[in-house]
């Protein structure tokens, strides 16, 4: 099925980004380069268009992000071999089975994770000897959606220092809320520099995409724990027209 171009898409900018990373063979390297390009880009609250009462509009703007659309955009760019490939991956990452409908959007991050694991886009990170906290919650904070029961498995916050040796550049990290009707309240991309672990994320409090030490974010925010996912390794050949 052929889809219309998403709202806000700049083909030229996507072509340039793909061209700039055509020699980066690993997904982690591409995610590192691409996520760095957007540091300083503005934070945009509620950047997607659609609701229970409004038709969903597929968007692909590179001008501003919230924490989820930042991750989605970087992940889709890292997997893409062309502009059309980028929009196809973005659609598949954002929507259940790639169907552009508001009720098929991965509104909750446990659903986002589950659907993208099923699609082979991400996978859990093996972390021997790191404790896991298991919780059951009923999610009900999205107006217009029926309450959704979910199971959350995360590394409890006090154990995150034991998790850090397993983290790699390109990993996705999700912060589990202490609120009983919400699963995840924020997400970012891990970047490793030797023993130091940083996170790039679209920060509401700062107003733009930032890079900061993961330990700083952990100290500043209350949370139940974290979930870490690793993008599946993809080798791509980029053919970009000029």
| pLDDT tens track for 34-89 | 999 999 999 999 999 999 999 999 999 999 999 999 999 999 999 999 999 999 99
Report the pLDDT averaged over residues 180-208: 97
Cβ(196)–Cβ(213) under 8 Å? yes
100 pLDDT above the threshold of 60: yes
The token pair at 73 is 């955009």
- Predicted pLDDT at 98: 97
Which pLDDT does position 240 carry in this prediction? 42
pLDDT at 101: 97
Is the pLDDT score of 204 beyond 50?
Answer: yes
pLDDT, position 236? 54
In the CATH scheme, what is the code of domain 11-118?
1.10.3670.10
Residue ranges of the domains in the chain? 11-118, 122-231
CA dihedral 40, 92, 176, 180 (to 10 degrees): 130
Q: What are phi and psi of 239, to 5 degrees?
A: -115, 105
Longest CA pairwise span in the chain (Å) = 51
Mean pLDDT estimate for the chain = 94
* pLDDT value, residue 202: 98
pLDDT of 242 > 70? The answer is no
Q: Is 187's pLDDT higher than 90?
A: yes
Tell me what percent of the residues of the chain surpass a pLDDT of 90.
Answer: 90
Q: Give one DSSP letter per residue of 162-221, joined into a string.
A: HHGGG--TT-EEEEE-SSTT-SEEEEEEEEEETTEEEEEEEETTTTEEEEEEHHHHHHHS
Residue 171: what pLDDT?
98
Q: Name the pLDDT band for 235 (thresholds 50, 70, 90).
A: low
Tens of pLDDT, residue by residue over 108-131, are 999 999 999 999 999 999 998 899
Q: For 122-231, which CATH superfamily applies? A: putative xylanase like domain (2.30.260.10)
Mean local confidence (pLDDT), 120-143: 95
pTM comes to: 0.95
Q: What is the pLDDT of residue 129?
A: 87
Q: In this model, does residue 1 exceed pLDDT 90?
A: no
More confident residue, 240 or 73: 73
- Are 58 and 6 in contact by the 8 Å Cβ rule? The answer is yes
Strand partners, 7: 59
pLDDT value, residue 25: 82
Alpha carbons 96 and 100: distance in angstroms, whole number: 8
Look at residue 140 in the predicted model and tell me its pLDDT: 97
- Rg of the chain over Cα atoms, rounded to whole angstroms, equals 17
pLDDT at 237 over 70: no
Burial (CB count <10 Å: 0-12, 13-18, 19+), residue 206? exposed
For 179, other C-beta atoms within 10 Å of its C-beta total: 12
């Amino acid at each position: 099925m052929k889809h219309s171009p998403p709202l806000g898409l700049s083909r030229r900018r996507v072509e340039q980004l793909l061209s700039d990373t055509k020699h980066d063979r690993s997904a982690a390297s591409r995610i590192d380069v691409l996520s760095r390009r957007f540091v300083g880009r503005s934070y945009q609250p509620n950047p997607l268009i659609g609701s229970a009462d409004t038709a969903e509009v597929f968007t692909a703007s590179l001008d501003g992000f919230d924490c989820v659309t930042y991750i989605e955009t970087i992940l889709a760019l890292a997997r893409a071999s062309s502009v059309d490939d980028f929009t196809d991956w973005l659609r598949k990452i954002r929507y259940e089975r790639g169907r552009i409908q508001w009720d098929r959007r991965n509104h909750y991050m446990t659903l986002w994770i589950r659907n993208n694991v099923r699609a082979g886009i991400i996978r859990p990170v093996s972390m021997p000897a790191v404790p896991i906290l298991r919780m059951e919650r009923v999610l009900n904070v999205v107006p217009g959606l029926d309450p959704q029961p979910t199971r959350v498995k995360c590394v409890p916050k006090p154990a995150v220092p034991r998790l850090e040796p397993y983290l790699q550049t390109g990993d996705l990290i999700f912060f589990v809320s202490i609120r009983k009707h919400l699963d995840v309240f924020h997400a970012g991309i891990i970047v490793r520099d030797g023993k130091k672990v940083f996170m790039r994320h679209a920060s509401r409090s700062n107003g733009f995409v930032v890079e900061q030490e993961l330990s700083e974010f952990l100290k500043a925010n209350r949370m139940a724990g974290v979930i870490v996912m690793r993008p599946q390794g993809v080798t791509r050949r980029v053919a970009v027209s000029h």
